[in-house]
Amino acid sequence: MQPAELSAVDLVTAVRQGDLSAVHCTEAFLRRIEALDGSINAFLKVDREGALASAARIDERRRAGGPIGPLAGLPIAVKDALCTANLPTTCGSKMLQGFRPPYDADTVRRLREADAVIVGKTNMDEFAMGGSNENSAFGPVKNPWDLSRAPGGSSGGSAACVAADMAPVAIGSDTGGSIRQPAGLCGITGLKPTYGRVSRRGLVAFASSLDQIGPMARSAADCALVLETIAGHDPGDSTSLCDEVPRYTEMLEQPLTGVRIGRVRDHYAEGLDPEVARGVEEAFAVFTAAGATIHDVELPHAKYGVATYYLIAPCEASSNLARYDGAHYGHRSSQRTGDGFESPLLEMYCRSRAEGFGPEVKRRIMLGTYALSAGYYDAYYAKALKVRRLIRQDYLDAFRHVDLIGGPVSATPAFRLGEKTGDPLAMYLVDLYTVATNLAGVGGISFPCGFTRSGLPVGFQLQGPALAEPLLLRATDRFQRLTDWHLRRPKAIA
């Protein structure tokens, strides 16, 4: 039995039944990490010793007849934006290099209590700001389908490690598409839950009104399994929802007969790659064959989504990242010249932030600070909040007529590393189809719906109303029962 060939659901079942030991399972994935990550760079830290010790404790408890958790023995990689008490949490930034949090994020705590095995922390765009994972201070992640291409971002390390079978499941965070876009470019399944469905406590903040944690895996069934553990109310997060967590895995079998899926005609505008458009249309046909009906809907303000997002998110980032000043948090510069500075303290602040933050983070901090400044707040930030409300209303109106909205997750397949780094606007536009989901606070899921002639995955996205995760997962699972796109493995790293 080769663990890397099994789904997360099958791995948990095998460990529970004693057909596979947690140690053997963990060792298998650690070997793949050791063999492959030198060329992919998906991990910033691998916790071999801790993972094997955790797996051994699970095996010992199972052999003794003791209780084991619902994710017992399942190796999981965690995005480096989530706090881990026993591992560094850097957010892909020199600002936090070597930082070890004093506590686990709520999601990490839930995973550990469910007996999941944390194998390491995954690479990411610095402070989750980016769409290609090229903004990491520790080098870019490479797409397992083509090592010359980007995996997407900011959860690119999480997406790449699942695509390369270095972990069956990874945890990502999604502020404007950072789970769904890399999942689409890497040919895996990624779920961005409704805002507040998963606690944000212990997630290093980028944009607090937009950030959401979610699972990334091969299939919807695997995502459902993990979401059952990480979802739920957390009294330590004031935005955490109190709604009861459904048994997502038990709701996958229900048919799609009568489910209404919306198709947004504006998604087919200039710039959409023809091969992506073909894959998306073929996906709609699969849903029709499964019993769903397709209806045209409008999201008239979605075209303002990118502009709105890139005002609100930088403004929140400017506020959230103000704490990294070298005195309270983060890297502290040792250089002191006094030249041009009013005081040694001001020099320390300025040099610490200049050395600790990368170019993209600095760009967004400056943009957000400018938009929040006196004389510009009403013209930019306040206006963006009004447009955000219009975007949310568009979704509310659309969901009166359809149950889900489908379409592309990205306008193109994975692009080449370095292709967009010199043009920030071009990089921001890779979020064209994903940012509105976060602005509206609803849920979304992406999964592969085909491949280009050159062998790159094509991603499809479903969006649903608030707390519609059961339907998002059920629809995706039904699609994956009728197709095999999610089962294909990249040849570049075979």
HSE, side-chain direction, 13 A CA sphere, residue 228: 19
**Encoding tokens for residue 258?**
């009568």
- Taking alpha carbons only, the member of 79, 80, 33 closest to residue 52 is 33
Strands 443-451 and 457-464 turn out to be antiparallel
CA 464 – CA 444 distance, rounded (Å): 6
**Encoding tokens for residue 334?**
């040792």
**Encoding tokens for residue 185?**
């470019």
* Residue 238 appears among annotated catalytic residues: no
* Residue 192 appears among annotated catalytic residues: no
The phi and psi torsions of 192 (rounded to 5 degrees) equal -100, 105
**Choice among 93, 154, 158, 219 that is catalytic:** 154
For 215, residues 6+ apart whose C-beta sits below 8 A from its C-beta are 169, 170, 171, 172, 190, 191, 222, 223, 226, 227, 230
* Residue 79 appears among annotated catalytic residues: yes
Q: Are 123 and 37 in contact (CB under 8 A)?
A: no
Q: Are 305 and 436 in contact (CB under 8 A)?
A: yes
**Encoding tokens for residue 187?**
């040919």
Indicate the residue type of 210. L
**Encoding tokens for residue 403?**
């149950």
The phi and psi torsions of 312 (rounded to 5 degrees) equal -65, -50
**Choice among 79, 142, 192, 420 that is catalytic:** 79
CA 247 – CA 217 distance, rounded (Å): 18
**Encoding tokens for residue 464?**
């649903």
CA 302 – CA 51 distance, rounded (Å): 43
CA 430 → CA 201, 215, 305, 412, distances in Å? Answer: 28, 21, 12, 8
**Choice among 178, 240, 318, 410 that is catalytic:** 178
Is the four-CA dihedral 270, 274, 279, 282 of positive or negative sign?
Answer: positive
CA 448 – CA 75 distance, rounded (Å): 23
Q: Buried b / exposed e across 2-11, counting CB within 10 Å, b at 16+?
A: ebbebbbbbb
CA of residue 131 relative to chain centroid, distance: 11
Return the H-helix or E-strand segment holding 56: helix 48-63
Q: Catalytic positions, please?
A: 79, 154, 178
